[in-house]
Structure 1
């Protein structure tokens, strides 16, 4: 295997992809466990602490929208390298003892993570077109593992070296990942310039019903996860479970999702029609919410169901970004649209849930609202999982022989990648 062989290039891309995915959750999940200490150190009010906790999700929504344009302008590898350096800078900036530095660093880390999130499916589509399922599953699993590790190690690291170590420890892995991507970025600059995108790839995805279905489905799955993980411990405490048990329930929801993050994309990629998966996962979510509404004392049963439902739904949505895209370029654009709109939608969930609880004094109205939102999640999920491809081509001038009119979303044709799954 020579340095210029395709197998060596694929191996380098795989290692770089692994290092990238290991740095797309830690900067976010490492903050909540030490949020109380940050409030004391920085003199944050309750509102300011809430803003700090919400900033990452808002950044994911905002910066995901501009990532495809950035990748087209400077190259995918260069954009990922820059994103990892921005994450490193943000993590280091957060240890400066000033509120402005804490919030600015959080925004920078969120911007870098948003860029990486969007480009992971595009990298998989281009570098490993015949391994979409396994590589998406690997990426999801590594994100979950790194996120859980950052959350679990935050307090021990804080006890060992203070809050600065707890926040800055993950700057080292992100810097290592950036260094690993640098050669790929330089290699990408030496490649011949790519031809201009096809006419279909120049048109906005906003015209595609399939793209919108994927966006809403991703947003709803994220909203369910973030809302439940934010409020489930308090719901369980209010129904008689100890604080330690309630916290463990939250951890179990996340832990269940780790193996599912790998297995579900593999299964989804082998199916031509993913609607049975979507129907099963959304049905589980509805069962869990009905159970939490009517029999919260059976908390562990609903926790297990939520773990399976949330741990499967987002991997399905992420896999659909590749399965519904004909090219890597459209994958990047669809990923940017779906993650931008999806995370902005998801950011409204925990806040609305909490406001409704405060206004009514109970949990049932808030849980009932989540149950109601299962309906659009199911409808958009079924539309997104139907076999087909996003082909964002507008109606062509009638009678023009060189630009035949095609529907906005076309049925998928079997490809070699399909047959290899």
Structure 2
């Protein structure tokens, strides 16, 4: 009797340890998916002066990762079929590590090539983490996605906060601020290496069913538009709030503190939403609530900018809730991890494509009208539309 029960217990223990190590690996991947980007903004002026970049070139450098996200995301599902999730994610980490090293080399070509590699690696990992979670954490998808999103947001905020202090250390200036993330990428690669030897990684599976493309599915478009509209509002506020605050008489230091609060409360919302999703039969109410929070926040910035901190807390809560809900929907609206990969690729292609255009058009509207009221009014419309698509996407059904 003992000999028969012992192997079973050992198997269960081994399976538990494997899941914990896999989750740690996922969180380390998440830690690499925003910080290499957010660390650029605070030292962008130094980079611009070092290379003699024009304002337009500096703006392109800042926006390039989002554009790469939009272009490269649809290719990630093909990598899943060709290499498997584990190998594709390891390759993405290799690109991020190499990109961080090359970008901080001090050469002009390295600056652009490194940014290209970082953006491509992050784009692939962005798409593939969701189907991995659906496959290996089927009963804890929302919790794992919440931890993943919270880790990504927290390290992104640290990346923004540490960039300027790191640039003052030694004689490395901006190179240290941008190159230090190579260490985090290498740590993630070392942690992820054992996953390449797992049984799931050694057997690259093919989809068991062939349905029509997710690009032809109404629910897939609804999820994608939900993702796109929340991304437009989030990145526009991240990029332009300091200028909006200055026009309302709020100092630069105070505006920076407000932006930190905006991102910090999003982390709390990430975790709380992952718990709430498990308690709901579908995600319609959750989509409505997170969209409403953003509507309230943007409305406040439009009509009472002197109370910006309050409105950013509303908007940040809505942004954090929206991100976790969108990422979870990529898994919930798919029948298997292959379809989840395709839906994630579609959603992030559309989402980041529109997200990259948001700050550009906000700047153009401000220049045209000479006020931030027009851009904020457009963001308010976008937030209302988000609510519409979020409710449709929250219905309990599959993409095809």
1:174 aligns with 2:203: no
Match of 1:353 among 362, 370, 376: 362
Say if 2:299 and 2:380, in contact at 8 Å, map to a contact too.
Answer: yes
What is the CA deviation profile of residues 327-349 of structure 1, one whole-angstrom value per residue up to 9, with x for unaligned ones?
11111111111011110011110
The residue that corresponds to 1:267 in the other structure is 276
1:108 aligns with 2:117: yes
Match of 1:374 among 379, 383, 388: 383
Report which of the two has the higher share of helix: 2
- Shift in CA distance, 205/250, structure 1 to aligned 2, threshold 3 Å: same
The residue that corresponds to 2:264 in the other structure is 255
**Secondary structure of the residue that 1:5 maps to in structure 2?**
helix
The residue that corresponds to 2:195 in the other structure is 184
The residue that corresponds to 1:313 in the other structure is 322
Give the TM-score normalised by structure 1: 0.89
Say if 1:216 and 1:338, in contact at 8 Å, map to a contact too.
Answer: yes
Match of 1:206 among 215, 230, 255: 215
The residue that corresponds to 1:324 in the other structure is 333
Task: Extract unaligned runs of 5+ from structure 1.
Answer: 392-421
- Shift in CA distance, 245/190, structure 1 to aligned 2, threshold 3 Å: closer
Task: Extract unaligned runs of 5+ from structure 2.
Answer: 1-9
Aligned-partner Cα distance in 2 for 1:145–1:172: 17
- Shift in CA distance, 317/193, structure 1 to aligned 2, threshold 3 Å: closer
Q: Could you tell me how far 1:85 is from its partner in structure 2?
A: 0.5
Q: Could you tell me how far 1:96 is from its partner in structure 2?
A: 2.0
Aligned-partner Cα distance in 1 for 2:79–2:249: 50
Instruction: Provide the aligned C-alpha RMSD in A.
Output: 1.7
Match of 1:14 among 7, 23, 40: 23
Q: Could you tell me how far 1:374 is from its partner in structure 2?
A: 2.3
What is the CA deviation profile of residues 178-229 of structure 1, one whole-angstrom value per residue up to 9, with x for unaligned ones?
12222222335774453553122xx311110000000110011111100011
Give the TM-score normalised by structure 2: 0.93
Say if 2:294 and 2:318, in contact at 8 Å, map to a contact too.
Answer: yes
Bigger Cα displacement from structure 2, 38-47 vs 278-287: 278-287
Q: Could you tell me how far 1:65 is from its partner in structure 2?
A: 1.0
Figure out how many residues of one structure are paired with residues of the other and give that number. Answer: 389
Q: Could you tell me how far 1:276 is from its partner in structure 2?
A: 1.2
Match of 2:46 among 37, 48, 72: 37
What is the CA deviation profile of residues 36-66 of structure 1, one whole-angstrom value per residue up to 9, with x for unaligned ones?
1101111111001000000011111111110
Q: Could you tell me how far 1:372 is from its partner in structure 2?
A: 1.6
The residue that corresponds to 2:313 in the other structure is 304
1:47 aligns with 2:56: yes
Say if 2:229 and 2:386, in contact at 8 Å, map to a contact too.
Answer: yes
Say if 2:330 and 2:340, in contact at 8 Å, map to a contact too.
Answer: yes
Aligned-partner Cα distance in 2 for 1:190–1:241: 52
Aligned-partner Cα distance in 1 for 2:62–2:103: 14
Bigger Cα displacement from structure 2, 227-236 vs 172-181: 172-181
The residue that corresponds to 1:56 in the other structure is 65
Aligned-partner Cα distance in 2 for 1:376–1:304: 20
Q: Could you tell me how far 1:270 is from its partner in structure 2?
A: 2.5
Aligned-partner Cα distance in 2 for 1:10–1:128: 8
- Shift in CA distance, 196/50, structure 1 to aligned 2, threshold 3 Å: closer
Mapping of residues 19-30 of structure 1, within 5 Å: 19-30=28-39
- Shift in CA distance, 378/196, structure 1 to aligned 2, threshold 3 Å: closer
**Secondary structure of the residue that 1:66 maps to in structure 2?**
helix
Aligned-partner Cα distance in 2 for 1:195–1:164: 43
Mapping of residues 377-388 of structure 1, within 5 Å: 377-388=386-397
Match of 2:14 among 1, 5, 25: 5
1:117 aligns with 2:88: no
Match of 2:296 among 287, 295, 306: 287
1:238 aligns with 2:247: yes
Aligned-partner Cα distance in 1 for 2:399–2:30: 26
Aligned-partner Cα distance in 1 for 2:32–2:161: 15
The residue that corresponds to 1:142 in the other structure is 151
What is the CA deviation profile of residues 268-302 of structure 1, one whole-angstrom value per residue up to 9, with x for unaligned ones?
23311211111122122222222222221222221
**Secondary structure of the residue that 1:160 maps to in structure 2?**
coil
The residue that corresponds to 2:205 in the other structure is 194
What is the CA deviation profile of residues 159-181 of structure 1, one whole-angstrom value per residue up to 9, with x for unaligned ones?
11421111110101111211222
Aligned-partner Cα distance in 1 for 2:199–2:46: 44
**Secondary structure of the residue that 1:197 maps to in structure 2?**
coil
